Amino acid sequence: MKLFEPLEINGMVIPNRVMVPAMVTHLCDEGGMVNDAVIERYAAYAEGGAGLIVVEAMAVHQNKSGALLRASEDKFIPGLRELTRRVHGISDSKIVPQIIHFMKVARTGWRQTVDTLSVEEIDVIVEQFGAAAARVQEAGFDGVELHSAHAYTLSSFLSRTNPRSDDYGGDTLEGRLRLIGRVMENVRRKVGRSFPVCVRFNAEEFIKNGYTVEESKLIARRFAELGFDYLSLSVGGKFEDAVHTPGTVLFPYSGYSGDRCMPGDWLPRALHVNLAAEIKAHLVGNGFTTPVAIAGKLSDPRDAEKLLERGEADMVAIARGLLADPAWANKVKNGQIDSIVQCDYCNVCKQLDGTHKPVICALWPQGALQAPKGSPATPVPRWADDGGVSATPTESTVSLRWSKAPGAAGYDIYRSTGDGDARLLDAVKVTRWVDKCVLGGLRYQYHIRARSADGRAGSPVSTGPVDLPLPGYMVAD
Ligand X SMILES: Cc1cc2nc3c(=O)[nH]c(=O)nc-3n(C[C@H](O)[C@H](O)[C@H](O)COP(=O)(O)O)c2cc1C
Residues annotated as part of the active site? 152
* Residue among 134 and 322 whose Cβ is closer to ligand X: 322
Note whether 17 and 315 are within 8 A (CB).
yes
Going by C-alpha positions, the residue among 215, 227, 172, 220 that lies closest to residue 200 is: 220
- Residue 96 is a binding residue for ligand X (CB under 6 A): no
Q: What is the C-alpha separation between 110 and 326, in angstroms, rounded?
A: 37
Among 80-88, 187-195, 261-269, 375-383, the segment contacting ligand X (CB under 6 A) = 261-269
For residue 164, the minimal CB distance to ligand X (Å) is 23
Contact segment (CB under 6 A) with ligand X among 15-23, 35-43, 451-459, 469-477 equals 15-23
Contact with ligand X (CB under 6 A): which of 9, 18, 24, 273? 24
Tell me: does residue 332 bind ligand X (CB under 6 A).
no
One character per residue 353-392, x = contact with ligand X (rule: CB under 6 A): x-----x---------------------------------
End-to-end CA distance of the chain: 55
Options 72, 91, 93, 98; binder of ligand X; rule CB under 6 A: 98
| Binding test (CB under 6 A) with ligand X, winner from 22, 77, 131, 304 | 22
DSSP 313-348: -SEEE-SHHHHH-TTHHHHHHTT-GGG--------H
CB-based contact 151:238 (threshold 8 Å):
yes
Q: To 5 degrees, how large is the angle CA 351–CA 353–CA 357? A: 95
What is d(CA 70, CA 101) in angstroms, rounded to the nearest whole number?
Answer: 10
- Which residue in the set 3, 319, 424, 450 belongs to the binding site for ligand X (CB under 6 A)? 319
DSSP structure string for 358-371: PP--TTSPTT-SSP
Is 70:58 a contact under the CB 8 Å cutoff?
yes
Using the contact rule CB under 6 A, the part of the chain among 27-35, 111-119, 134-142, 255-263 near ligand X is 255-263
Site mask for ligand X (CB under 6 A), range 50-89, x = bound: ------xx--------------------------------
Beta-carbon contacts of residue 433 (< 8 Å; ≥ 6 apart): 399, 400, 411, 413, 426
CB 204 within 8 A of CB 275: yes
Window contacting ligand X (CB under 6 A); options: 104-112, 180-188, 257-265, 283-291: 257-265
DSSP conformation letters of 441-454: T-EEEEEEEEE-TT
Q: Of the candidates 9, 318, 363, 466, which one interacts with ligand X according to CB under 6 A? A: 318
The 171-200 contact track toward ligand X, x by CB under 6 A, reads -----------------------------x
Q: Where along the sequence are the contacts to ligand X (CB under 6 A)? A: 21-24, 56-57, 98, 147, 149, 200, 234, 261-263, 295-298, 318-321, 349-350, 353, 359
